[in-house]
Amino acid sequence: MPASTLRTVKPPHETRTRILDAAEELFMQHGFEGTSMRQLTAKADVNLAAVNYHFGSKDALIEAVFRRRLDPMNGARIAALDAIEATGRPLTPEAIIRAFVGESLRMIEDAKGGGRNFIRLLGRSYTEPSKPIRVLIGQLYEPAMERYKSAFERALPQMPPEELVWRMHFMFGTLSYTLAATDAVQLIAGCKPEDRHDARLLEDRLTAFLAAGLTAPLKHVVRKAA
């Protein structure tokens, strides 16, 4: 028997982690349906059957990919808001926005871990055609969403609730699209941003843009009838 066929021993959860990491990257590059189990297991360097053994099915793997990162990230979002409130300073709209946006960009900065892959994947998934995936993301976001909505309501007491919902929706879109479209900026100009040290600058740009949009004057409300 050749020595090369020796089975390698792996620490516990090694295989699970390798699969999740590979899935994160491939899903980001080719989408869920565009990524086959054979590509995925080849990249993770595990057996084809490993995904079904450890996760049950491809759909369950997709869910696991989201849960691994989304729960901690939204937990950190809520904690960031709590931390600001704990100082006693008043919550300005800009501070709220920065807390929300910053948590995404923090993940992009750690290029070592797959956080960057996940953030891009996440940006794409907001407009995912598959209904179960959208429902899952909605569930995972709900706690943080409620928390931020009420924070904005307190910071902008004069804003009609319906208008606030729309503006949060716009904010969400801007963030999601910006995260997803690393190369789509070229659509406008040939300027592809260096993503490393630009994360901080991007946070400033995004926050300034979103804070201005969120607090824009309410001139159009008078038209509302229905």
Which range binds DNA by CB under 7 A, 29-37, 63-71, 115-123, 143-151?
Answer: 29-37
Contact assessment for residue 127 and residue 177, using Cβ atoms and an 8 Å cutoff: no
217 binds a second copy (CB under 8 A): yes
| CA distance linking residue 113 with residue 175, whole number of Å | 21
Distance in Å, CB of 121 to DNA, minimum: 16
- # residues near DNA by CB under 7 A: 26
| CA distance linking residue 164 with residue 66, whole number of Å | 27
User: Which listed option, DNA, a second copy, none, makes contact with residue 14 (CB within 5 to 8 Å by class)?
Assistant: DNA
User: Which listed option, DNA, a second copy, none, makes contact with residue 42 (CB within 5 to 8 Å by class)?
Assistant: none
Q: Which residue among 37, 145, 156, 168 contacts DNA (CB under 7 A)? A: 37
Q: Which amino acid is at 65?
A: V
181 binds DNA (CB under 7 A): no
Of 77, 71, 69, give the one whose Cα is nearest residue 95: 77
Each residue 82-121 as x (binds a second copy by CB under 8 A) or -, in order, gives: ----------------------------------------
Q: Which residue among 13, 30, 67, 154 contacts a second copy (CB under 8 A)? A: 30
Contact assessment for residue 40 and residue 23, using Cβ atoms and an 8 Å cutoff: yes
Alpha helices for 47-160 (secondary structure H):
50-54, 58-86, 93-109, 115-125, 131-155
Instruction: Return the structure tokens found at 164.
Output: 């606030």
Which range binds DNA by CB under 7 A, 53-61, 66-74, 80-88, 147-155?
Answer: 53-61
**Smaller CB separation from DNA, 46 or 144:** 46
Instruction: Return the structure tokens found at 44.
Output: 């993770």
Q: Which of residues 131-150 bind a second copy (CB under 8 A)?
A: 134, 137-138, 141-142, 145, 149
Backbone angles phi, psi at 47, to 5 degrees: -70, 155
Of 204, 218, 102, give the one whose Cα is nearest residue 157: 218
**What is the contact surface with DNA in residues (CB under 7 A)?**
6-10, 12, 14-15, 33, 35-39, 46-54, 57-59
